[in-house]
Structure 1
Amino acid sequence: MGNTSDVNRRDVMKRAAALGLVAVPGMTALSSCASGGDDGNENKVEKGKKTKDNPLAVNKKAGLEVVIFNGGYGDQYAKDAEKIYAESYGKVKHAKTQKIRTKMQPRMVKGSPPDVINNSGAENMDIASLIDDKQVTDLGPLLDAPSLFDPSKTVRETLRPGTVEKGQFGSEKVYQLNYSYTVYGLWYSKSALEKLDVEYPKTWDEMLDVCAKAKKQGIEAWTYAGKHPYYLAFTMFAFIGKIGGADRLKAIDNLEPDAWEHDAVKQAFEAYAELQKKGYILKGSSGLDHIQSQTQWTKGNALFIPNGSWVENEAKQTTPDDFEMTVAPNPSLDSSDKMPFETVWAEASEPFMVPAKAKNVEGGLEFLRIMMGKESTKNFTELVSALTCVDGAADGLDLGPGLGSAKKVVEAAGDNILSPRHKDWYLQLHNEKVGGALASLMSGDIGPSEAMKRCQKATDEVRKDDAIKKYKR
């Protein structure tokens, strides 16, 4: 890097800071410069022979290393897919962790990453920055390979709508496979609502009525993961889109100068602030992590929780047999909403990547092909109560109450499905700045106007920062 200009050095430093590299002990920000790019990796194994049964030319002597995020889905589904891989291609080294960024970022910097990374959880790496640094493999060969779910189709042709687009970052290339299909919404116990003698509220006035009735019986209405406040966005973003139309979320994704100043944002923030003002949020929620908030919910101490469809599996140890876990769209504000009640945020999620510097890139691609096969997709759904990105993979399966309700929500939404890209494109902005503003709003530390200002100020800062790559939709 001896010929790099001071300006470029500053850009590298900014990018490294965004990735969290400068905080890694023993690493320097500039060391990422040496590992960027996908050319000339001495550690790569030679390709194997391409055949009908080995379309991605995996070297059967190479071995494979897979790292899985040990969150709501656990890692057994991956172990099962690894067994299938091992039958044809040899030994697999498996690891699981909840500290993806802490464990994987140093290896990405050194140029010695595993072959497959399940880049998920609260400590996921900033995939957009990694792609910009050419540290991620283009998944095109995988998508164009024959499917193990339907041999008459390519892998690409078996995927649910939006899955391919979710893996794209400003180009036609696909760098990320989002394996699960997640339904975000407001989760509740059907039996708990029945005990209150109420139905799920479809408008905000009805929501406030349910909250009031619950409070009279000593039950708080809402809880949330205060330590991970971006969980609030799982319902808030769809609420904003429902009130003001899908273009409101597009404006937020596109970092527009007035994205957070729209009346739809104001109305959504005011509605949520009312929950706090009227005492309808479980005390202490601001200090709870996702597991603790879910446990308070399954114990019956709160009626509603913003979450994703992984929660059925993640909370199964504390969920009573008669809980009847159910998901529904965030209630409408009122009849003036631009989109119907059924509107929901649903998308391919649970991201996987194959690092460009991986030793066995072909093996990593083949492992993902196996995961999208009939055996693996069925196993995933039955094991962890979640849909996959493969269209039709859950047909005919006996689904649990939570997953069954999620499937019904998606079917009821039809074309009214929202898929914002904010958290994919601008991870730090989404999780820390917007999430932080939502946390302060829900705790009563600030009001709706101040929350809007903070979100817009943070958005403007990102838009004006030339070191951060921008995306449009």
Structure 2
Amino acid sequence: MGSTDVNRRDLIKRATAAGLVAVPAMGVLSSCATGGDGDNGDKGVTGGKKTDDNPLGVNKDAGLDFVIFDGGFGTQYGKDAAKIYEQDYGKVKLTATQKIRSLLQPRMVGGNPPDLIDNSGAEQMDNPTLAAKDQLTELSPLLDAPSVDDPDTKVRDTLFPGTIEMGQYGDEKVWCLNYAFTVYGQWYSKKLLADNDWEYPKTWDEMLALCAKAKKKGIAGWTYAGQHPYYIPFTLYPFIGKIGGPEALKNIDNLEPNAWKQDAVKSAFEAYHELAAKGYVLKGTPGLDHIQSQTQWTKGKCLFIPNGSWVENEAADTTPKDFGMAVGPVTGLDASDKLPFGTLWAQAGEPFIVPRDAKNAAGGMEFLRIMLSRQSAQNFSKLVKSLSCVAGATDGLDMSSGLASASKALEDAGDNVLNPRLFDWYPTLHKQQIGSVLAELMAGRTKPADAMNKCQEYADRTAKDDSVKKYKHA
């Protein structure tokens, strides 16, 4: 951790207080304090004067320290926004990494965090815990500031519905800004289906029949990121919601007793288990990471992969030009489903945070205000082939195949858009525990009933853990 005047015991205490180290008994981050008010005390640089051109009062002489996650969206959109920021404010130091926690934990503990963090990836820090431990700047000043494009319109009024809510954890305060608007679902190649005269399956019987046809041609039905099984819920959660309605997912999010034993969960687990039992999952999938599974998919080795709309950019190097990348809504069970075909999981993702101890918190929020301009939002979509959280930013844009598909799927879904929260309210439960159970289910190593019991056991354990802050849907 380098030279420091803080001894190791103090560092451990401060790390625990910041919610950055795991609790040994559960492997989860403790979370019990209330959130702060966003006041950075004497930690920050002296602010600048608030004006029409500088509504957040950024000190124009202060530099900005920005750490961006170098993942599926790359970093160019951040570099481009930095150039705009530097036209009016100080120099931006941009650091790209895939090791968010490893790089930033010492700085968060030491009271010297960056001014802005793209808190994403496998090493994502736990945002609810950071908020609960008073480690984040509250972002209402940003949301209530005038937008870059229209001074008469607040930033909050330019965003897709649900964006602000994704940054809230149990109250009205907003602790993070989720920049990308991700469409999750069954990603596929339009060309592969068209070349074989295959129709996209709407019911599970149609899914199994299609997988059987594909298997005869040496093509698997599904693959997924076996090393990161929390990708499986990108289709499984909306499948449960389609079968049982929004309440089925809300029960899971709310850690209700027997939520994982609902009929909708039973039906969904049995359906996914059948994919493995019938040999419709690409051989070797449990050992593949996200890049390897995506590469097998773009090579035409399988029909479907559960993923989010970042995949078009992330898999660009291996995707044939005529692939026709597209996302489809989850295949349903049958006519008894509570929600119609077309139901989607779509929500704001890729969370950006401004640490409470940031030296230039106002600059961090101003950088986000620039990113939320139409110019930056369109640039993001052009570069990474994904929607941003800025509503209407892609209007008139010449969109790639996957981006156009995601935009249309979102439009077609109408009000049937699901917004599960387990993954960000309880990331350890979602990623490590539920993920491990789903890995066993999809590999055919555990039966649906046993998987349901194990998921419920993990959920009950979280519900009873007083060190984990609890959240509820309204």
Give the TM interval when normalised to the shorter protein.
over 0.9
User: Which runs of structure 1 show a deviation greater than 3 angstroms over 4 or more consecutive aligned residues?
Assistant: 12-23, 36-43
Q: Distance in 1 between matches of 2:206 and 2:90?
A: 58
Pairing of 1:133-282 with structure 2 (within 5 A)? 133-282=133-282
Contact preservation (8 Å) 2:40, 2:357 = no
* Deviation by residue 1:287-326 (Cα, 9 ceiling, x = unmatched): 1111110001001111110000000011000000110001
Match of 1:420? 420
Residue 319 of structure 2 is aligned to residue 319 of structure 1: yes
- Alignment partner, residue 464 of structure 1: 464
8 Å CA contact 2:243, 2:332 repeated in 1: yes
Residues 1:330 and 2:305 aligned together: no
Query: How far apart are residue 17 of structure 1 and its match?
Result: 11
Matches of 2:161 and 2:40, distance apart in 1: 35
Tell me, in whole angstroms, the C-alpha distance in 2 between the residues paired with 1:315 and 1:465: 39
**Scaled by the length of structure 2, what TM-score is found?**
0.93
What is the root-mean-square deviation of aligned Cα atoms in Å? 2.1
Q: TM-score scaled by structure 1?
A: 0.93
Q: Check conservation: 1:18, 1:428, Cα contact below 8 A.
A: no
CA contact under 8 A between 1:324 and 1:402: conserved in structure 2? yes
1:40–1:16 CA distance, 2 compared to 1 (3 A): closer
Report the equivalent of 2:360: 360
1:124 matched residue in structure 2? 124
Structure 2 residue identity aligned to 1:343 = T
- Kindly indicate whether the alpha-carbon contact (under 8 Å) linking 1:178 and 1:348 is maintained by their aligned counterparts in 2: yes
Structure 2 unaligned spans of 5+: 1-9
TM-fit CA distance, 1:40: 6.8
Distance 1:39 1:50 in 2: 16
Distance 1:77 1:341, change over 3 A: same
Distance 2:16 2:243 in 1: 35
Cα deviation code 1:97-131 (max 9, x no counterpart): 11111111221111111000001111101101111
Asked whether the equivalents of residues 16 and 22 of structure 1 are also in contact (C-alpha less than 8 Å), the reply is no
Q: Residue 399 and residue 110 in structure 1: after superposition, are their counterparts in 2 closer, same or farther (change >3 A)?
A: same
Which residue identity lines up with residue 20 of structure 1 in the other structure? V
Is the partner of 2:332 in helix, strand or coil?
coil
TM-superposed deviation, 1:195: 2.0
Match of 1:65 in 2: 65
Paired position in structure 2 for 1:297: 297
Task: Count matched residues.
Answer: 455
Give unpaired runs (5+ residues) of structure 1.
1-8, 24-28
| Alpha-carbon distance in 2 for matches of 1:340, 1:361 | 44
8 Å CA contact retained: 1:185, 1:235: yes
TM-aligned CA deviation for residue 169 of structure 1: 0.4
Partner-residue secondary structure (3-state), 2:428: helix
Cα shift at 1:89: 0.3
Secondary structure at 1:403 match in 2:
helix
**Percent pairwise identity:** 61
Q: Tell me which amino acid in the other structure corresponds to 1:209.
A: A
> Structure 1 residues 22 and 421, CA, compared in 2 at 3 Å: closer, same or farther?
closer
- Are residues 20 and 195 of structure 1, via their aligned partners in 2, closer, same or farther at CA, if it must alter by over 3 Å? farther
Contact kept, 8 Å, 1:15 with 1:129, in 2: the verdict is no
Alpha-carbon offset, residue 255 of structure 1:
0.4
In the alignment, which residue of structure 2 is the partner of 1:20? 21
- Whether contact under 8 Å (1:222, 1:305) holds in the other structure is yes
1:62 CA displacement: 1.0
Alpha carbons 1:220, 1:303 under 8 Å: kept: yes
Counterpart Cα distance in 2 of 1:37 and 1:246: 32
Does structure 2 retain, via aligned residues, the 8 Å contact 1:243–1:264? yes
1:13 deviation in Å? 10
Question: 3-state SS of the aligned residue for 1:114?
Answer: coil
